[in-house]
Structure 1
Amino acid sequence: MSKKHPVIAVTGSSGAGTTTVKRAFEHIFRRENLNPAIVEGDSFHSLDRTAFKEAVAKAEKAKTRAPSHFGPEANHFDKIEELFKTYGETGSGKRRFYLHNDEEAAPYKQAAGTFTPWKAIPKGSDLLFYEGLHGGVVNGKVDVSKYADLLIGVVPIVNLEWIQKIHRDCAERGYSAEAVTDTILRRMHDYVHYITPQFSRSHVNFQRVPTVDTSNPFIARDIPTPDESFIVIRFKDAKKVDFPYMLNMINGSFMSRPNTIVVPGAKMGFAMEVILTPLIHEMILNKKKAK
């Protein structure tokens, strides 16, 4: 934990809504005139696209459990921990970029699905902002969560998460529903052991819950819309939260537990900004005092 060089981590599996949180933070950073050092979780995979496919194929041929992007076999958990710790101490650290497609790869004259070289984060940033799968992961002696000053969990209920993944991978990546289902099954062990435990360590959780039937996600024809959902927001430390203010600001919201507020799905982005802005204010105030 660091006051001089704060670390913010948004963690959640793909399709969970981390992009919405990232956009909310971008709005806050712009309004507050902050310069964040941005880090993407994909850059900490330990295998590039080709090597990962080869590792999966080899495991399937040997009839052993294949690696997944959720687990330690395909990620540098230790390097995430090292970055968070080093940035908190010095305001810098090593990062690289994962090149998802040809457009991202062209400036580096590399193939899509590869990584850029590791480079030091330039000095002078106001904070570190991580968005990815493992912002609060723990594995053996590695504990990324203890170096995050603000850990945000973003997770839909699991059936909704599967619906979103099936639709996205079929529509955007050309996979069959059967192939996506196989991927879900292959990475289930890692999901249970490395993804879900993070949400017990987070300071704030945003969980999207649909109000329509998602009981069989493998035959669902469409993704529930925000208007067909609620967002359940849980706070680790409810004593620091001004719930009356939030209930007044977010129309249609209500409290379901002493540490939990529920907001309409269409208000997710707005609710995030209302909730997160005071947390960032406090973080930057502490940073100035520490200097």
Structure 2
Amino acid sequence: MSKKHPIVAVTGSSGAGTTTVKRAFEHIFHRDKISAAVIEGDSFHRYDRVTMKAEMAQAAKENKNISHFGPEANRFDLLEDLFRNYGENGTGKKRYYLHSDEEAAAHNARLGTELKAGQFTPWEDVPSQTDLLFYEGLHGLIVTEENQVAQHVDLGVGVVPIVNLEWIQKIHRDNAERGYSAEAIVDTIMRRMPDYIRYITPQFSLTDINFQRVPTVDTSNPFIARDIPTPDESFVIIRFRNPQKLEVDFPYLLSMIHDSFMSRRNSMVVPGGKMGMAMEIILQPIIERMMEARKV
């Protein structure tokens, strides 16, 4: 951890909704004129798209399992190196994973390369003179026997829909945006489950704040759900691991977020439609105190 070069990590699995939190942070950074070094978790995958498919096929032949959730398919060592170096010196190496042809075209124009979707850009230096590092992805607080990424994080935020809702979101997204069949998506979910339990779930005990969306409609069989429950059909449970550390003012938050209430001494519940607003109200003063601490 570092007061001079703080690190904020947002972690959540595919389809969990980390984009909503990322957008809230972007609004905070814009309002407070904070320069952030933005790191995408996908950029620390070990293999590009083509190689990953080949590795998965070979693993299946050997009755083994490999997924983007586990260490076999990721460079946790390089992620820890980045967090350590940034915390110490405000420097480090980053790259981008190109999800689409549009992303590839944009980076090719910037770098003068001829990369395709599913590949990585070359490693480059993190921009100098940034105020903080912002990570969004699968492994912001990963801990294994070899790598202790979480120890370098100053603020950890988890995005954790209940698992049935997470599956519904993933099924709909992968079908609509990537053209995968429902059967293929379910197969992916089942194949990833051991790594999800071992490497993703434990991170949410290390986060400082968790945002968990809970639907108020029936999601008992996520594999036949026709629609994703809307924000207005949900509540969001916000759990603070150590409210004193974050100087959380619960009476103020309850007064600012209509229809919110406390469910435990460190947990509050807000209507799903107010999730984005709640994130900004909660996170902005925390980020501002981190920026003030840099001046000391």
Q: Which residue of 1 aligns with 2:59?
A: 59
1:134 counterpart = 2:139: yes
Asked if the contact 1:162–1:217 (Cα under 8 Å) also holds between the matched residues in 2, the reply is yes
Q: Which residue of 2 aligns with 1:212?
A: 217
> Match of 2:81, SS?
helix
Divergent runs of 4+, >2 A: none
Q: Which residue of 2 aligns with 1:90?
A: 89
Distance 1:129 1:98 in 2: 16
TM-score scaled by structure 1?
0.98
Please say which of residues 113-122 and 145-154 is displaced more in the overlay. 113-122
Structure 2 unaligned blocks of 5 or more: none
1:252 counterpart = 2:253: no
Q: Which residue of 1 aligns with 2:71?
A: 72
Distance 1:29 1:180 in 2: 35
Asked if the contact 1:65–1:186 (Cα under 8 Å) also holds between the matched residues in 2, the reply is no
Distance 2:121 2:181 in 1: 30
Please say which of residues 250-259 and 233-242 is displaced more in the overlay. 233-242
In the TM superposition, residue 148 of structure 1 has moved relative to its aligned partner by: 0.4
Q: Which residue of 2 aligns with 1:268?
A: 275
Q: Which residue of 2 aligns with 1:224?
A: 229
Q: Which residue of 2 aligns with 1:100?
A: 99
Q: Which amino acid aligns with 1:42?
A: D
Asked if the contact 1:234–1:260 (Cα under 8 Å) also holds between the matched residues in 2, the reply is yes
Q: How many equivalent residue pairs?
A: 288
Distance 1:264 1:92 in 2: 39
Choose the corresponding residue for 1:194, options 186, 191, 199: 199
Asked if the contact 1:238–1:258 (Cα under 8 Å) also holds between the matched residues in 2, the reply is no
1:123 counterpart = 2:128: yes
Structure 1 unaligned blocks of 5 or more: none
Distance 2:64 2:274 in 1: 40
Task: Note the alpha carbon deviations across 1:98-147, whole angstroms, 9 max, x for none.
Answer: 11111111223111101111111121111100000000000103111110
1:15 counterpart = 2:15: yes
Q: Which residue of 2 aligns with 1:146?
A: 151
Task: Note the alpha carbon deviations across 1:230-258, whole angstroms, 9 max, x for none.
Answer: 00000011222100000000001000000
> Match of 1:29, SS?
helix
Distance 1:257 1:196 in 2: 21
- The Cα RMSD (Å) is 0.8
TM-score scaled by structure 2?
0.96
Q: Which amino acid aligns with 1:278?
A: P
Percent identity, aligned pairs only, is: 66
Asked if the contact 1:41–1:132 (Cα under 8 Å) also holds between the matched residues in 2, the reply is yes
In the TM superposition, residue 79 of structure 1 has moved relative to its aligned partner by: 1.0
Q: Which amino acid aligns with 1:26?
A: E
Distance 2:233 2:283 in 1: 24
Q: Which residue of 2 aligns with 1:110?
A: 115
